[in-house]
Amino acid sequence: MVFISHLSHRYGQRLALDDLSLSIAPQECFGFLGPNGSGKTTLFRMLSTLLPAPAGKITIAGLDVTRQADAVRRQIGVVFQSPGLDKQLTAEENLRHQGHLYGLKGLALSRRIDELLTRMGVADRRGERVESLSGGLRRRVELAKGMLHHPTVLLLDEPSVGLDPAARLDLWRYLKELQQNDGITVLLTTHLMDEADRCDRVAILDGGQLKACDTPATLKDRIGGDVITLDGPDPRELARIILEKFQIATEIVEGKVRLQRRRGHEFIPQLVETLAGKVQAVSLGKPTLDDVFIESTGHGFEAAADEKPLAAG
């Protein structure tokens, strides 16, 4: 459904995307995971036809995003991170104006608006101005707006930003319904690990490069053991001792020593005894996408400030 081949893009001297290639199957929920500055926003701009792809190629439903942008726009629904609703209009009025932009009108448009507002659970609020709706309800209206013209691909930029936990769960329930009942292919950008965990597959981006791509379970399985994290006043000294005594390579991430070990609970007593007086805290956990990110990139998920949220204008 979506094919990306050798995609690169520069902003002056900064390489925002670096030879990115991947493909996304029909009806897949696919997440692009990365911190600010990883290339997510640039990629979203290209997928949504807002930015041409001079180096590389993107096709959506077999259509070239650069050369056939108008045709692609009829295939995609877009929900931006920044709000795209007119707050002074009602929920229904926002959808009706969106329908007119796509040439929808009359009874067909009214029926589609009724259907989506009902499915999104906001039919009883259709006549209220958007400014009076909660963040979660606004997000539902945004999703309905993006789905109004029956797109085959739905693009979501940081869809859970600003939502409380209950609203986030509701959003994901609606997305799964769209996937399963309408056959929609969902692409989303995120910096939230739990959100990426809900996707069928995840692409980890860092510095404009694709570092890993697979199902969340497969990505976590490749860590190959438990993750032990040590906190102490001198992490470099801890890493040195562990390498010297156990011949185990470690990583220092955000001031803590991190290592992987099968049956880590059995190894911790030896570790603590060897490092007596040098460790303030020890934690043991199963691999998470945080660990996958560290293993794939060599550093933690710190957020740079190179990219800004994509607005709906």
Sheet of 226-231: strand order equals 251-253, 256-261, 226-231, 281-285
Tell me the domains of the chain and their CATH numbers.
Answer: 2-215 (3.40.50.300), 224-286 (3.30.70.260)
Tokens of 292: 């996958």
pLDDT for the residue 261: 87
Q: Exposed (0-12), middle (13-18) or buried (19+): which is 166, by Cβ within 10 Å?
A: exposed
Question: Could you tell me if residue 303 is left (phi over 0), alpha (psi between -120 and 50 degrees) or otherwise beta?
Answer: beta
What residues have CB less than 8 Å from 246, skipping those under 6 apart? 270, 271, 274
Q: Burial of 66 by CB count in 10 Å (0-12 exposed, 13-18 middle, 19+ buried)?
A: middle
In the sheet that holds 55-60, the strands lie side by side as 14-24, 2-11, 55-60, 63-64
- Could you read off the pLDDT tens digit of each residue along the chain, which spans 313 residues? 999 999 999 988 888 999 999 999 999 999 999 988 889 989 999 999 999 887 899 999 999 999 999 999 999 999 988 888 999 999 999 999 999 998 999 999 999 999 999 988 899 999 999 999 988 889 889 989 998 999 999 999 988 877 778 878 888 888 888 898 889 999 999 988 889 999 999 999 999 999 999 999 999 888 877 889 999 999 999 999 999 999 998 888 889 998 888 888 889 999 999 999 899 999 998 888 988 998 888 787 764 434 444 555 4
Rounded Cα–Cα distance for residues 127 and 272 (Å): 63
Residue 302's pLDDT is 62
The pair phi, psi for residue 291, each rounded to 5°, is: -65, -40
* Torsion sign over Cα 34, 203, 60, 162: negative
Locate 116 and state its tokens. Answer: 């989506």
- Do the beta carbons of residue 244 and residue 275 sit within 8 Å? no
Give the total residue count for the chain.
313
Phi, psi of 298 (to 5 degrees): 85, 5
pLDDT of residue 73: 93
